[in-house]
Amino acid sequence: MRPTYLEVNLARLKQNLENIRNHVRPAKVLVVLKANAYGHGVDGVAPFIAPFADYIGVAIVEEGVYLRKLGITTPILVMGGTLSEQLPDFFEYDLTLAASSLDLLTAAEQLAESTRKRLKVHLKIDTGMERIGVREYEAEPLISKSISCSHLEMEGIFTHFANSEVTSLRETGIPMTPASLQLERFEEVLSIYERLNEPTPGIRHTANSGATLLLPQSYYEMVRPGVLFYGVYPARNIERTIDVKPALTWRSKVAYSKITQPGRGVSYGSLWQAESPARIVTIPCGYADGYFRRMTNQARVVINGKSYPQVGRICMDQFMVNAGGDEVKAGDEVTLLGDGISAEDLADWTGTNEYEVMTNISARVPRVYV
């Protein structure tokens, strides 16, 4: 196996899920497995965690189809935008549709009628994200249509928070959090059912990771933890009301070790050079693996339990580390993420967020499940 690999702690993922479930009970828990399980590797994570999840969430229909081909039988909600020509896959692979428009809902009803197959549907309401979904003030036609769809099963209705980890909107003069404002709009939509004397769908869900931590009134019948399930909090200063721990460790080994003399530039562009003789070691990992080039001369790694700085421009497949005067040799263990280096650290060095750090770890980095 390649010496650069990801170690995924499945037991820790299961414990994270249990801690989330205990906190939100009796609400169900939808586990988000989109984007290759946030970089953790869906092939290993999904078969292990699916029996413990009430629902699985993915972003695109192809992710749902892939899970079914892996043998996953847990209900799967495709949460992202869907085109009408993709609807046959929902019927063939028993996927749940996020109906984000009147046209899509109508197309699904017509296909269900013609194929004589039923399809589970969750109505998607846009309460402030401005991404996909029918806005709360335009939702009544969608709801009225859904009530008349006799060939579809209207199982759920949901929205997505744009700022669930933000605690206040006082600076704008609105005496509530951004998420509670969206929740108020969602409640307005639910009142349409009462006005029409119709029952609401059985699974109402709004809570992503931030709301799962901060907004108990948003739980309804189900929550949707994404990054929280993987042991990463959605914001640095967020109240950590649920105990979760990272499940991911990124490891490698020193591939080459040498003493570099002063004045000798290291890597492309010669952006760094030693001021005195220094041991420069090469790690077989680069930006093609998701170790961002933007971290050049900022990142740190742990070798033999000690922290060292990355130096010189990060290459496509390799990068260099300054071990100073220490005796570091080829084959020594290296930690890129874990052992005191967090996803937040990599995000800071890159100028991005933890989500991008994890989901950009390349498929060519082997995943090892423990």
pLDDT in tens, 88-120: 999 999 999 999 999 999 999 999 999 999 999
Q: 277 and 219, same structural domain?
A: no
pLDDT band at 28 (very low <50, low <70, confident <90, very high): very high
| Domains identified in the chain, total number | 2
Please say which residue of 223, 240, 270 terminates a domain: 223
Q: Do 264 and 179 fall within a single domain?
A: no
Output the domain CATH number for residue 325. 2.40.37.10
Residue 69 domain-assigned?
yes
- Asked whether residue 234 is domain-assigned, the answer is no
Task: Determine what percent of the chain is predicted with pLDDT higher than 90.
Answer: 94
* pLDDT reading at 132 higher than 50: yes
Q: Answer yes or no: are the C-beta atoms of 294 and 351 closer than 8 Å.
A: yes
For residue 196, give the amino acid letter.
L
Asked if residue 236 belongs to a domain, the reply is no
- The DSSP code sequence of 329-342 is -TT-EEEEEBTTB-
Domain membership of residue 357 (yes or no) is yes
Q: Are residues 32 and 180 in the same domain?
A: yes
Catalytic choice (28, 34, 120, 124)? 34
What is the reported pLDDT for 171?
Answer: 45
Residue 67, domain member (yes or no): yes
Residue 227 has pLDDT above 50, yes or no: yes
> Does 240 map to a domain?
no
pLDDT of 216 strictly over 50: yes
Residues 172 and 309 in one domain: no
Supply the pLDDT for residue 82. Answer: 97
Domain ends where: 223, 240, 266? Answer: 223
- Does 202 lie in the same domain as 279? no
Cis amide leading into 26 (omega within 30): yes
Could you give the CA distance from residue 135 to residue 194 in angstroms, rounded to a whole number?
A: 18
Rounded to the nearest 10 degrees, the angle between the axes of helix 42-49 and helix 61-69 is: 70
Q: Are residues 108 and 15 in the same domain?
A: yes
216/329 same-domain check: no
CATH, residue 18: 3.20.20.10
User: Predicted confidence band at 146 (pLDDT cuts at 50, 70, 90)?
Assistant: very high
| pLDDT recorded at residue 116 | 95
- What is the domain range of residue 127? 10-223
Residue 228 placed within a domain: no
Is residue 193 domain-shared with residue 278, that is, in the same domain? no
Whether 258 is catalytic: no
Same-domain status, 130 and 61: yes
Last residue of a domain, one of 223, 258, 290: 223
Do 21 and 165 have their domain in common?
yes
Q: Which listed residue (245, 258, 268, 306) is catalytic?
A: 268
Q: Is 268 a catalytic residue?
A: yes
pLDDT of residue 172: 47
Choose among 116, 114, 112: nearest CA to 146: 112
Q: How confident is the model at residue 177 (pLDDT cuts 50, 70, 90)?
A: confident
- My answer on whether 258 and 213 are in the same domain is no
- State the Cα–Cα distance between residues 74 and 46, nearest whole angstrom: 10
The answer as to whether 242 is a domain residue is no
Note whether 40 and 115 are same-domain residues.
Answer: yes
**pTM across the whole model:** 0.95
* Cα separation, 274 vs 124, whole angstroms: 56
